[in-house]
Amino acid sequence: MGLTTQDPPRRRTIATGPSLPVADDAVFRLSDVIRVYREADVETIALRGVDLTVERGELVAIMGRSGSGKSTLLNLLAGSDRPTAGRVLFLGRDLATMDDAARAAVRGREIGIVYQSQNLAPMLSLLENVRLAAWLAGRPIDGAAARSALERVGLGHRAGHRPAQLSGGEQQRAALTCVLAGRPTVLLADEITGELDSESAGVVLQILQDVHAAEGTTIVLVTHDDAVAGRADRIVELRDGRIVADGSTN
């Protein structure tokens, strides 16, 4: 893994705890994370003290009913939100305390996110979308590499098409190809198979499993589908903002 933007900061010495000279090797380390949404006079406690460590190379499924805090947790992992209390460390670094430019650099280069609704540029072809995504992640690729990335997910014949010309399943595969083209250290996916038929969902999951096996990409996948979660190494279950189960699937 190449972190070229900056060296990880040294661990701060905390008055109450030991000072550890080694950089944290876990991809994510969350301690007592609380997230409260406040809107007017309504307060929603979405996460109520979450401790979670994700090691390098894991494929973790986050499960739980609607409203249990899955997306909130994923947004904190992505560094697109900050905890109300507690800490979220990414490779030993607290994204919430970084300045905007440093955080954007780390997020853009190391963290890939795929949502249910895809973030493809509508005016660009798939090939151009893939190249743009790789370029934005600081790892530009040429047209031939972008084409072969699309071929690997069965979209080679669609390289010249715009997103709107594709089916939902194809768009989801294209969005995933774009994110993977940036070769992120960690891939976060929020219910990306939720709107797909089972065949398309199977193809998308296979892509995730392939990249996980081939590149050791750390993957955190939010789903409420048992069949999807069964493909993960580990299932973390949330209920009412708390982790109620966390275990290996084999």
- Least gap, CB of 238 to ligand ADP (angstroms): 7
- Least gap, CB of 249 to ligand ADP (angstroms): 20
Which structure tokens are listed for 123?
């005016």
**CA separation for the pair 41, 24 (Å, rounded):** 39
CB closer to ligand ADP, 50 vs 176 = 50
What stretches of 39-167 show up as alpha helix (H) in DSSP?
70-77, 100-110, 126-136, 143-152
Q: Are 161 and 112 in contact (CB under 8 A)?
A: no
CB closer to Mg ion, 12 vs 65 = 65
List the x/- string, 26-65, binding to Mg ion by CB under 5 A.
----------------------------------------
CB closer to Mg ion, 25 vs 226 = 226
**CA separation for the pair 72, 61 (Å, rounded):** 15
CB closer to Mg ion, 50 vs 159 = 50
Q: How many CB atoms lie within 10 A of CB 65?
A: 12
Point out the residue whose Cβ comes nearest to Mg ion.
71
Amino acid occupying residue 3: L
- Least gap, CB of 72 to ligand ADP (angstroms): 3
100-to-80, 124, 187, 236, 239 alpha-carbon distances in Å: 11, 28, 21, 30, 32
Task: Based on the shown chain and the rule CB under 5 A, indicate whether residue 71 belongs to the binding site for Mg ion.
Answer: yes
CB closer to ligand ADP, 53 vs 80 = 80
Return residues touching ligand ADP (CB under 6 A).
37, 39, 44, 46, 64, 66-72
| Among candidate residues 206, 115, 127, 126, the one with its CA nearest the CA of residue 167 | 126
| Among candidate residues 8, 16, 50, 5, the one with its CA nearest the CA of residue 32 | 50
**Which stretch of DSSP H or E encloses residue 229?**
helix 226-229
- Least gap, CB of 71 to Mg ion (angstroms): 3
CB closer to Mg ion, 71 vs 218 = 71
List the x/- string, 190-229, binding to Mg ion by CB under 5 A.
----------------------------------------
**CA separation for the pair 133, 152 (Å, rounded):** 17
Residue 9 CB contacts under 8 Å (≥ 6 apart), including other chains:
92, 93
**Interface segment toward Mg ion; rule CB under 5 A; list 66-74, 90-98, 109-117, 236-244:** 66-74
- Least gap, CB of 161 to Mg ion (angstroms): 29
Task: Based on the shown chain and the rule CB under 5 A, indicate whether residue 185 belongs to the binding site for Mg ion.
Answer: no
Identify the three-state secondary structure at position 238.
strand
CB closer to Mg ion, 64 vs 182 = 64
Place of tokens 């997910």: 153
* Binding region for Mg ion (CB under 5 A): 70-71
